[in-house]
Structure 1
Amino acid sequence: SRVDKHWFAVRDVLLKTERLLSLVPLNRNCPLSVCSSTKDVLNKLFLALQHPYICPILDLEFIAYEGQDYVIIVQPINHGSLKDLIHG
């Protein structure tokens, strides 16, 4: 767990479901270019990446605030543990 990572439970009013929103500062040594093309490529990659043991990323966004770059990640909220999901 990262000390500077923040989680929020948010409600998607269009789909009437709860989502997990994570706000994480990017390391200054991060090799990713913080731009719309990088965001688009990562969103397409995460949309295509589907596996029962990988929690899907529904949306990713970059923001800059007070000289620091952040990534915002939206995921579904899973209830129960990984063991519960695997063994039903």
Structure 2
Amino acid sequence: MKEPHNYAKVGYSMIVVAASLAAVGLIALAIGGDVLYSDNIQRHNTLHFNECKENNFEDKSCEKYLDRINNKISGVYVDLDK
């Protein structure tokens, strides 16, 4: 009976799995001290959006919102012809 030679394929997949788990572990160590990391990012982005909304999206940094909000579903209309 021939010996199967699929050990290399299994070995490579185990290396990929180990590398991905190591990457997740390193990310967890990097942000582990700040348990509200994603919450802080979301709060900052919400604050920026609300400031843009108050200023009628006239600031240059607010242009990224215009293509997403200027529709009937969002309920936010901005006159782009100004």
TM-score normalised to the size of structure 1? Answer: 0.25
Identify the structure with the greater strand proportion. 1
Query: Higher Cα Rg: structure 1 or 2?
Result: 2
TM-score normalised to the size of structure 2? Answer: 0.27
